Structure 1
Amino acid sequence: MEISEMSKKTKLLFVFEHWGDGGTEKYAETLGHDLNKRPDISIHIVLFKDLEDDVPQLEWAESVSVVKGNRLARCFALRRLVKSIKPDICHFHLYTSLLLVTIALVGIKRLKTVATFHSPISIWNRIYRAAFFLSTRLLDKVIAGSELTAHELRDWRKDVQTCPPPINIPAIPHFLGKEKNIFVISGCGRLSREKDWSTLIEAMAWITENAEEEIRCEIIGEGFYRERLETLIDKHNLQEKVVLKGRLEHADALTCVASSDLFVLPSLFEGFGMAAVEAMTLGVPTITADFPAATEYIKEGETGQSFPRGNAEALAKLILQHIDDVDFSQKIGKRGRTSVLERYSTKIIAEKHIEIYHSLLGNNPDKIILDANESIKG
């Protein structure tokens, strides 16, 4: 039997407010790539965009539709698209538009709605928290991107399920303990206030003043804080020790991180901290600030380390510990890699989503996947 002769595919419609290079997009793209391999699922994308930049080429999606206009116009346009595409499930990866979009799709027959909350509710103001609360009452299913977010959402709805970001396991080796004349620290993320790269730069200044180690820091990413960070680098005469590498393609960024001795994510806040987990999959020893979500993958002194947010001296002392004790650093990197591979592989996270989707449709996911495989064989 040919695939086309199988029972109808499950149509998923992923809805986003925009498409950039943040954690939400990485989450969806990694998940989409894996789901797209399954013969029983097809994925369609809707993007809310006002900018005139190019529509992204998402080869894992069957179609990509762009919706423009104000929020109300977007809702009407989305409703028309849904009636045209006829998805079985709409999966929202939205923030400020979530309530209006959820209301707009109420009453469409046989449509199930799901939303993933990628950041904790507590960071939003009262108006948005109220909107999120109402949304959870209308949605058929609610997914949290971290246990921290799930804990908050369960005050409103007890059946919240946690699906952390799926991590593509890079085929890039990290050679711990290789001979080098300089210790390289990497970081990756937007150049913005909440990422707090200034604390990492201040830590580099502290090390330069108080130790003789040869170190270099490479920060991957771009953003409106670049000028401020450049000013701080100049202030401490760190032009040869701190490099702002700008935005890199994902594969190039991973290669850069893999070639470093230590990864640092000094963020004041992270919904999850995917950049840190990606570094851990490479086996790179990882230090993060003590934002709450980090406790989900950083087991202090075993899989990684953390420091008080904004405390440059504390960060500097942890960095020196890795420079001075190579054996300790290697063990952190190896244990961190083992830990995240067991919990965040794309296969594990995709299977969690499959279970959620098919439970909404009243299907047995194991049976459907088996039937699809048998159809291919036939």
Structure 2
Amino acid sequence: MPTPRVAMLARVVFPLHGYGGIERHVFHLVTHLTRLGAEVTLFVQHASHERRDAHDAATQAITAGLKRVVYLRYDYTSPLLPPNGVVGRQFNYPWYTWELGRTVAHLARGGSFDVIHSQGLCAAGYGLIRSRDPLLQRIPFVANPHGMEEFRTPDWRKWLAYAPFRALYAYGHRVADRAIATDACTQDDLPRYLGVDPARIAVIPSAIDVEECLGYVQPALRQALRERFDLAACDLTFMSVGRLERNKGFHILIEALARLQGQLPPRWRWLLVGNGKERANLAQQAQQAGIAKQISFVGRLDDDELHSLYEEVDLVIHPTLYEGSSLVTLEGMIHRKPMIASAAGGIPDKVFNQRNGYLVPAGSVDALVQAMSQALHARAHWPAWGHESERIVRSTFDWPIVARQTLALYMSLMIPNPIADSR
């Protein structure tokens, strides 16, 4: 059977629409599928002229191996309303996924695709159209729900605001032939939150491109970062990466570090990489805890800087309160770092106690203090833990491996395309 013609239904792709986890997932998935011979048509929203111009070379890299890229309108709201705010998304995303579904369904009826694969809420529009069209039902439909943060938010206002959003999200994945769980430890979330039949769940992990991540590292930049943060004078350097928001748990880590001062060497440092609305609160908390001088709010780094900085630290800590698959965890691991991370989302599939670090219950200061204390006493094992981190990523979470698993799923679902055969 020949490799498939795939319609990839998304809204965003790196770097045209940002640098987040879903954007990178879409970019690497379509890139590696095309390397395996799949014929991929990517559907995404229009990018601004400024972003397209700024990333012209990257745009060419995205489109080079694809059959084509189809751009659709996303922002249907007033210019005064942020398109991705809580209200804006309620209007824009349902309309986008409906128009996307209509476009893809039209092409699929013409025999253009052997497999339809959606990302996030993009499943809803096509799923609704397909459920009423027996011809489309004969073309395999795979849906990937990703992190499902809207189902886990502790903010009751967002919970209420996103109720219609969650209903569409759940519907689109219930009607797919296969819904992808990005970690074995989170596959039960799909029946729980989305109502997906367990028999229709396929476990295919989220991944990182190992060679790309390591290729960002630059010796001169490492030296510049060492000097910028005066790391040569530090006895111990921690690092955390993420948006500075309450759900990332950085306030928990500040409290834990304050309680551990007696066990930490005199010249320790915590590098906190990222921006967000919690920065002022975190800085105030650190000041009140008496550890402000040991904390560097690094801000956002580009990929070269981020991956070069990973090489300069001793331990990566990810104290998140809730999580999806956690690409940040994989990034730290591929740089051979021991990890301390919350047992949230897909992290328990990546971090194992005393193999490559420690897992802690999300939100527990006491547990984080205990894990960090144990790690400090086991510092002689950190190099071995770092090598185990790297082994885990290379064996399970590298994109060439995950793309092959995705292609195998397609092939297992494919039947001769009745639309194409009738032409």
Q: TM over 0.5: same fold?
A: yes
For 1:91, the equivalent position in structure 2 comes to 117
CA 1:251–1:87: 2 relative to 1, 3 Å: farther
Find the aligned partners of 1:48 and 1:299 in 2 and give their Cα distance: 41
Does the CA-based 8 Å contact 2:12-2:23 persist in structure 1?
no
Map Cα deviations across residues 3-62 of structure 1 (whole Å, 9 max, x no partner): xxxx8972432313684433222322222332232344234131388x997357543244
CA 1:200–1:134: 2 relative to 1, 3 Å: same
For 1:26, the equivalent position in structure 2 comes to 24
Find the aligned partners of 1:228 and 1:295 in 2 and give their Cα distance: 29
Match of 1:285 among 334, 338, 341: 338
TM superposition score normalised by structure 1: 0.80
CA 1:240–1:30: 2 relative to 1, 3 Å: farther
Superposed CA RMSD in Å reads 3.3
2:212 corresponds to 1:163:
no
Find the residue that maps to 2:346 and give its secondary structure. Answer: helix
Superposed, which structure 2 residues align to 1:101-180 within 5 Å? 101-106=126-131, 107=133, 109=136, 111-119=139-147, 123=152, 131-153=168-190, 156-169=197-210, 170-171=213-214
For 1:373, the equivalent position in structure 2 comes to none
Distance apart, 1:311 and its partner CA? 3.0
Find the aligned partners of 2:245 and 2:51 in 1 and give their Cα distance: 24
Match of 1:12 among 7, 30, 50: 7
Find the residue that maps to 1:223 and give its secondary structure. Answer: coil
Find the aligned partners of 2:3 and 2:341 in 1 and give their Cα distance: 45
For 2:354, the equivalent position in structure 1 comes to 301
Deviates more, 1:229-238 or 1:114-123: 114-123
Map Cα deviations across residues 69-111 of structure 1 (whole Å, 9 max, x no partner): 245542453245323694443322124x643442145537465
Find the residue that maps to 2:340 and give its secondary structure. Answer: strand
For 2:415, the equivalent position in structure 1 comes to 362
For 1:42, the equivalent position in structure 2 comes to 40
Find the aligned partners of 1:142 and 1:8 in 2 and give their Cα distance: 21
For 1:74, the equivalent position in structure 2 comes to 96
Find the aligned partners of 1:53 and 1:194 in 2 and give their Cα distance: 32
CA 1:53–1:81: 2 relative to 1, 3 Å: farther
Find the residue that maps to 2:200 and give its secondary structure. Answer: coil
In structure 2, give the amino acid aligned to 1:337.
Answer: E
* Long gaps (5+) in structure 1: 1-6, 364-378
Does the CA-based 8 Å contact 2:120-2:169 persist in structure 1?
no
Match of 1:221 among 251, 274, 280: 274
CA 1:52–1:238: 2 relative to 1, 3 Å: farther
Distance apart, 1:342 and its partner CA? 1.4
Find the residue that maps to 1:167 and give its secondary structure. Answer: coil
Q: Which has the higher helix share?
A: 2
In structure 1, give the amino acid aligned to 2:203.
Answer: T
CA 1:181–1:131: 2 relative to 1, 3 Å: closer
Deviates more, 1:258-267 or 1:209-218: 209-218
Distance apart, 1:232 and its partner CA? 1.7
Matched residue count: 352
2:71 corresponds to 1:65:
yes
CA 1:245–1:105: 2 relative to 1, 3 Å: farther
In structure 2, give the amino acid aligned to 1:113.
Answer: F
Find the aligned partners of 1:211 and 1:40 in 2 and give their Cα distance: 52
In structure 1, give the amino acid aligned to 2:7.
Answer: L
Distance apart, 1:238 and its partner CA? 3.0
In structure 1, give the amino acid aligned to 2:127.
Answer: T
In structure 2, give the amino acid aligned to 1:103.
Answer: L
Distance apart, 1:236 and its partner CA? 2.7
Distance apart, 1:163 and its partner CA? 0.8
**Identity across aligned pairs (percent)?**
20
Find the residue that maps to 2:214 and give its secondary structure. Answer: coil
Does the CA-based 8 Å contact 1:184-1:215 persist in structure 2?
yes
Find the aligned partners of 2:259 and 2:172 in 1 and give their Cα distance: 47
In structure 1, give the amino acid aligned to 2:300.
Answer: R
Find the aligned partners of 1:53 and 1:150 in 2 and give their Cα distance: 39
CA 1:361–1:48: 2 relative to 1, 3 Å: farther
For 1:250, the equivalent position in structure 2 comes to 303
Distance apart, 1:275 and its partner CA? 0.8
